[in-house]
Amino acid sequence: MRQPLSYSQKGFYMSLLDKMERKFGKYAIPNLMQYIIILYVLGMVLRIATPGVYETYFMLDASQILHGQVWRIFTFLLQSPSNNLLFFIITLYFYYMIGSVLERTWGSFRFNVYYFTGVIGTVLAAIFIYLITGRVYYLDTTYINASLFLAFAFEYPDMEVLLMFILPIKMKWLAYIDMALYAYSLVVGNWGTRIAIIVSLLNFILFFSSIIRKKGYSPKQVHRKMTYTKAVNQAKKSATHHKCAVCGRTEEDDETLEFRYCSRCNGNYEYCQEHLFTHQHVK
């Protein structure tokens, strides 16, 4: 039998998340990924309609933020994942899918925390690099989204996607490739890239080191448990409640009514004694 986790096993971070969810869970943004996708679409429209405006006024420029342009803390989220329209649409669909699934798996509050921790970490990293080096590195949402992908691959490692719409490949193998690219970028990338990667990995490691142990069950186990519970409840309901498929009467309408299933009907159709032999069989 699975034993309850102790405080030390759950860890300080998960204990904090529990307390925060109880206190602030009602303020979580449901369907957060939907709004993120809208921001990306607005960013693409902005780039097409007014070339150069995003780069001038909305990018994550630590120097300008420290000089009063605080809106850049939020507007850098407008940067689209790709400038190619076809790849942009495919990427948005993929990110919406994994974000929506993660929110259903964790709940809105924890998904909000995971995403916005990545956003805050990216902003702080950009400011930290500028204060240390005096150089501006324009960080974007690349590694925030990569962190979402790693989380999804960790939760659903055996889920298959079609690589290039042709080759089926499991998410865990894509995650391994992603981690290899992380390692390569840590070696050859600039300081901005390195810090952004470290921030996204820290967010992933910190979150999962607690939430997985706290859940105690894998997503597949949770799904099986929910399916089993639903089947048991339906069985109990069918055992205590009968309804004629023709007239709709139940034992509550007449306690003397008897109900039987028809062996010639294609499906579980139940009939009262008056319609058991007179109904039209379902094929």
What number of residues does the chain have?
Answer: 283
CA distances from 20 to 17, 27, 31, 211 (A): 5, 11, 19, 14
Tokens 């960790």 belong to: 154
Q: Which two tokens stand for residue 82?
A: 């790709």
Average pLDDT in the chain: 80
The domain spans of the chain are 10-217, 224-272
- Burial class for 29, CB neighbours closer than 10 Å (0-12, 13-18, 19+): middle
Report d(CA 78, CA 74) in Å as an integer: 8
- Beta strand spans in the chain (E): 160-163, 167-170, 259-261, 270-272
Q: What is the pLDDT of residues 15-71, one digit of tens each?
A: 677 788 888 888 889 999 999 999 999 999 998 898 888 888 999 999 999 999 999
Looking at residue 127, its pLDDT comes to 92
Q: Annotate 167-179 with DSSP letters as a single string.
A: EEEEHHHHHHHHH
Report d(CA 167, CA 170) in Å as an integer: 10
Residues facing 170 on adjacent strands: 160
* 270 contact partners, CB below 8 Å, separation of at least 6: 242, 243, 244, 245, 259, 260, 261, 262
Q: What is the pLDDT of residues 199-227, one digit of tens each?
A: 888 888 877 765 544 444 445 554 555 56
Q: What is the pLDDT of residues 232-255, one digit of tens each?
A: 556 555 554 678 888 888 877 777
Percent of the chain's residues with pLDDT above 90: 22
Q: Which residue has the higher pLDDT, 250 or 180?
A: 180
Q: Which residue has the higher pLDDT, 132 or 212?
A: 132
CATH architecture for the domain at 10-217:
Up-down Bundle (1.20)
CA distances from 159 to 137, 267, 281 (A): 36, 32, 41
Q: Which two tokens stand for residue 165?
A: 């719409």
Looking at residue 252, its pLDDT comes to 75
The CA-CA-CA angle for residues 200, 206, 210, to 5°, reads: 145
Radius of gyration of the chain (CA): 27
